[in-house]
Structure 1
């Protein structure tokens, strides 16, 4: 399902925080191409200017370089906005373990600033990036939205606090909110570099260079990897739903299937070997498990299907093929 099939009417002004990041820039591209006005708020701490360079000359695009930790910047960005897609955050479990204070300042303090600004500027709806890390140590599979466990990292705490704040702003101030619990999103424009790079782009670039990818643990940990186009669809559905029962709640954003890391690498080697057959011979290195990692992740997407009409367009294999093609073509 693409935006046109959702019945999208292109005349909205949409603020995308973290709009120069991986998910934010993909949302920007899709929504701009459908005739909307986009305001991007980003401080480029993790966002990349190359992700938005093609938008800068677009008449319906406006960039505000600023930090969500500054309330006045948030107010300025929210002025005249119909919808907010809040993607700005400091991601990564290891980053939050190494520096919990900054993660909290951005992910909690910055989030609260955005809620206050959205309330004061009378924004119609606030859709925000929640996280599957909220499920914590819950052993239940698949993960169902109303059953969570204890958080396993400072990052997980910050994302759960986001959900609590959003609920309070809905009940106390009447601000419509929808949280989207992302499950291991991947796809074009995702940064393969840096200490906190996501596993799929990092593995792709290592294999492309005929370097051995390092798997944390024995490779048996499994994830519900979710292609970026499915995430775009969910953001648009959350933004446009007129079902009163579908707002002021949270949804899993996932495929509803999982794969372990050993089989993931095998698929990546298969798809990359079309460009260089030598990639099939690259060995895997196994390292220690990462602190704070959840062993297995699998989402139920029944609530999103029922309440929002979510229909994933890409399964894992289709998404990986598109992602591999993009990385091979665009990154050296």
Structure 2
């Protein structure tokens, strides 16, 4: 058993991003353990790891400090992905969102501090930019949050900064910009837009775009996110820690363009999809009109070079959905 590289605790490891991180680091030769309560994650995302001697699943809840302490014991690194995502979910239920994303986050920081982990890398969010209209988004210029979810992710950054300064815990926050890719759940009321549209188009159903379709996002493929987590976890650059980074591509695509790309790539498998019509609904509360990241800080401090632009990632994601969910 190769454990020279160390042990990584991935919270929310049964989720979309977390399970992809598990797969990557197990292949790298790390010991990986997961803490998950399966509120949004899925067992099928990690079932093929269960028999791996370097993998350990701990069923528990980050809102329970004892579960956090148990999970982090002996870990060298924490990749904290556990959270309740979705702006609409936070608007509908701000209390639970706060309990998980703030109280749970604080529990994990305390547990990581007490266990003396080397570094705590956590999923921050582009929602922290709030009502700032400046483009591209630069890490040190943010606006006021536009949703309870955005507030919780900003509070995470504040807590991480305090734990770095007060307790010496190395922290790095990764502000994810609209991550998509294999294993992302297309089902449920709060499904992300790309897998939701893919499944609708595969079923010849009309995707519904919120608003005119002019809203744009810096859609970021999962492989870019994995790279950023690895760089953040392993960097030896002292100037690169105890800060936050945009985790994105540095390019934006509006929703009308997105649906056009999805139709194009799905039509390779089913030509009828090219003729599926698109419908438009009202804008969604709490949504920002445009999102575009500057990735210069990540390039400079971490050596980040994104491997997948939007169309590269969509081609791979569409292939995965077609082969796994058709």
The answer to whether TM tops 0.5 is yes
Q: Does residue 1:114 correspond to 2:108, yes or no?
A: yes
Return the offset for 1:12: 1.4
CA–CA distance in 1 between the matches of 2:236 and 2:269? 46
CA–CA distance in 2 between the matches of 1:263 and 1:235? 28
CA–CA distance in 2 between the matches of 1:242 and 1:163? 21
CA–CA distance in 1 between the matches of 2:13 and 2:89? 20
CA–CA distance in 2 between the matches of 1:191 and 1:300? 28
Aligned to 1:181: 175
CA–CA distance in 2 between the matches of 1:10 and 1:243? 21
Give the one of 128, 132, 135 matched to 1:134: 128
CA–CA distance in 2 between the matches of 1:223 and 1:158? 21
Aligned to 2:24: 30
Aligned to 1:154: 148
SS in 1 for 2:144: coil
Return the offset for 1:213: 0.3
Give the one of 98, 103, 110 matched to 2:97: 103
Return the offset for 1:219: 0.3
Structure 1, unpaired ranges of 5+: 1-8
Aligned to 2:62: 68
Contact 1:10 1:34 in 2 (8 A): no
Return the offset for 1:34: 1.1
CA–CA distance in 2 between the matches of 1:34 and 1:242? 18
Return the offset for 1:127: 0.1
- How well do the aligned residues superpose, as a CA RMSD in angstroms? 0.7
Return the offset for 1:221: 0.2
CA–CA distance in 2 between the matches of 1:220 and 1:12? 46
Aligned to 1:90: 84
SS in 2 for 1:151: coil
* Per-residue deviation, residues 269-313 of structure 1 (Å, max 9, x unmatched): 000001111001100010000000010000000000000000001
TM-score (norm 2): 0.99
CA–CA distance in 1 between the matches of 2:24 and 2:4? 11
Give the one of 294, 299, 302 matched to 2:293: 299
Aligned to 1:228: 222
Return the offset for 1:10: 6.2
CA–CA distance in 1 between the matches of 2:108 and 2:217? 30
Return the offset for 1:65: 0.5
Give structure 1 regions of 4+ aligned residues with deviation exceeding 3 angstroms: none
Q: Does residue 1:198 correspond to 2:192, yes or no?
A: yes
TM-score (norm 1): 0.97
SS in 2 for 1:33: helix
SS in 1 for 2:48: coil
Number of corresponding residues: 324
SS in 2 for 1:63: strand
Structure 2, unpaired ranges of 5+: none
Aligned to 1:243: 237
SS in 1 for 2:245: strand
Aligned to 1:329: 323
CA–CA distance in 1 between the matches of 2:240 and 2:213? 37
CA–CA distance in 2 between the matches of 1:270 and 1:286? 19
CA–CA distance in 2 between the matches of 1:300 and 1:257? 9
Give the one of 309, 315, 319 matched to 1:315: 309
SS in 1 for 2:83: coil
Give the one of 48, 55, 60 matched to 2:42: 48
CA–CA distance in 2 between the matches of 1:31 and 1:317? 26
21 and 279 in structure 1: CA distance in 2 versus 1, 3 angstrom threshold: same
CA–CA distance in 2 between the matches of 1:222 and 1:310? 23
Aligned to 2:278: 284
CA–CA distance in 2 between the matches of 1:217 and 1:23? 28
